[in-house]
């Protein structure tokens, strides 16, 4: 897939690795998940999102071939991560 549309978010958390694994595991029941050198890539029909755990944050890099696909991808990834991190007050704000 040729990515024409991209978005990025950095979500502050001390549990970046745990949240990345949880999100990949959860979505892995319906989507392809690939373990890459730095993190996990979730591949949906509308695009893919790379989850990169950092020391004090998790970085999300979403890409899609369409604007609508990117909107759907960021909605799915962001809402799931916020739900999983509700107790820690995680907020996902995408930069397009």
For the chain, the first-to-last Cα distance in angstroms comes to 19
What is the rounded CA–CA span in Å between residue 22 and residue 62? 18
Per residue in 19-62, pLDDT (tens digit) is: 999 999 999 999 999 999 999 999 999 999 999 999 999 999 99
Q: Taking a C-beta distance cutoff of 8 angstroms, is the pair 91, 10 a contact?
A: no
In the chain, % of residues over pLDDT 70 = 97
Q: Taking a C-beta distance cutoff of 8 angstroms, is the pair 62, 51 a contact?
A: no
List, in order of start, the domains of the chain with CATH numbers.
5-85 (3.30.310.50)
pTM exceeds 0.85, yes or no: yes
């Amino acid at each position: 897939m040729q990515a024409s549309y991209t978005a990025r978010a950095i979500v502050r958390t001390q549990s970046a690795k745990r949240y990345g694994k949880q999100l990949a595991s959860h979505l892995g029941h319906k989507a392809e998940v690939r373990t890459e050198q730095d993190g996990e890539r979730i591949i949906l029909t509308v695009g893919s999102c790379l989850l990169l755990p950092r020391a004090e944050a998790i970085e999300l890099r979403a890409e899609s071939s369409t604007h609508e696909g990117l909107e759907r991808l960021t909605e799915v990834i962001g809402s799931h991560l916020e739900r999983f991190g509700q107790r820690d007050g995680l907020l996902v704000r995408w930069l397009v």
